[in-house]
Amino acid sequence: MQKRKLGNSNLEVSALGLGCMGMSFSYGVVHDEQEMISLMHAAVDRGITFFDTAEVYGPFTNEVLLGKALSPIRDKVVIATKFGFNITPEGKPGSQGLNSRPEHIKQAAEGSLERLNIDYIDLLYQHRVDPDVPIEDVAGVVKELIQEGKIRHFGLSEAGVQTIRRAHAVQPVAALQ
Amino acid sequence: MIPTLEELGIGFVPYSPLGKGFLTGKMDENTSLGKGDFRSTLPRFTPEARKTNQSFVDLLGTIAKQKNATPAQIALGWLLAQKPWTVPIPGTTKLSRLDENIGSPSIELTSNDLREIDSAATKIPVEGDRYPEHLEK
C-alpha cells in the first residue's frame, strides 16, 4: 500500500486508513471482539497503518478494542482518536452535548491513552466544534498536550474555514476530517 | 474548504467515504436497516432519498465495469485522485470488504475518467441531508 503525508505535517500514513467505529457502534451490531482484532491485524498485514476511533464510539468500548488490537504492535500503526462530547457511562453516547472545555479535553486525552493502552496518541481530533469554547483555547490545550508528549498531532472534524484558520494559528492542524 | 487546506498544508481525511455503505451498491430503497442502525435516523437514508441517489451508484457501477473494479473502488479511487494529501478512512467489519477497499489505490483513473465522473455527478441532485438538523449543529 502506498503511503501519503497528511499536509505539511510529517505524519505519514497508508493511502487508506481504517475507520473502526462500526466495529462496536452505530450500525446496530456489536461484532465479536476477537474477529475485529483479527481484522485489524489483517489490515496491518496488508499495509494499512492508519486507524480511526473516538472516545464517543461505544462510548469508550471502541478505544478499548483498538487498544487490545494495536498496542502490541504500537510501532507499526498511527492511531487517531477524538474528544469533544460529554459522556456519562449510563448516557446515550453523544447525547450529553458538546464539551471542549480545556479541563475536559485533558481528562478525555488521559482516558483515551489509558483505554488505547499507549503512551502517546498520534493524532487527536476535536470531534465537533464547541460553540461555547473559543477554538484558540482548544488548540492551546492540545498544544500543551503535544509539549507534554502525550499527543503528536492535532486534528479538527467538521470545522469551518474560519475555525480552521484560527486553530491553525495557535497549533498547526495536521488533518481535517 | 479544499483550497484552504491546500494553502495551510492540512491533510484531508474523508470519513464515510463510501457514503455509510450506500456507494458500495449493496443497498437500495428496499434494504431494511436493522434495529439500532443509526442510518435509519438520517435524512439521506430514507427510502425516497436512497431511490433518488441510486443514480450515483449507477454511475459508479458503469465506470467500475469499464475498469473491472467495484463501485466502492471507483468511489475511493476518485477521492484518492483529488489531492495527494487526502487519506480516506472507509470502515468495515469484513475481510472481503477490507480487501476490496485496499484494491482502490491501484485503480487507474485517467483525467478523462475523472472528468466524466465529475460532469455526470454534477447533473445528479443529492437527496436528503447528511444528518438530522439537531446533529448538524
CB pairs under 8 A between A and B: 135
Q: pLDDT tens, A15-27?
A: 999 999 999 887 7
Cα-Cα-Cα-Cα dihedral of A32, A58, A21, A66, to 10°?
Answer: -70
| Cβ-based neighbour number of residue A160 at 10 Å | 13
- Asked if A100 and A83 count as a contact pair (C-beta separation under 8 A), the reply is yes
pLDDT > 70? residue B137: no
Q: What is the pTM of this model?
A: 0.93
- Distance, C-alpha A174 to centroid of its chain: 12
Q: Averaged over B115-126, what is the pLDDT?
A: 83
pLDDT tier, B96 (very low <50, low <70, confident <90, very high otherwise): very high
pLDDT tier, A169 (very low <50, low <70, confident <90, very high otherwise): very high
Distance separating alpha carbons of residues B97 and B84, to the nearest angstrom: 23
A48 to chain B, any CB pair closer than 8 A? The answer is: yes
pLDDT > 80? residue A94: no
The interface pTM score, or ipTM, of the predicted complex is 0.95
- Under DSSP, the state recorded for A16 is S
Question: Could you check whether the bond before residue B47 is cis, i.e. omega within 30 degrees of 0?
Answer: no
For cell 469551518, the residue is: A160
Q: Do A39 and B93 touch (CB under 8 A)?
A: yes
Per CB-CB distance under 8 Å, the chain A contacts of B13 are: 6, 17, 52, 80, 155, 175-177
C-alpha cell at A61: 468500548
Q: pLDDT tens, A21-51?
A: 999 887 777 789 999 999 999 999 999 999 9
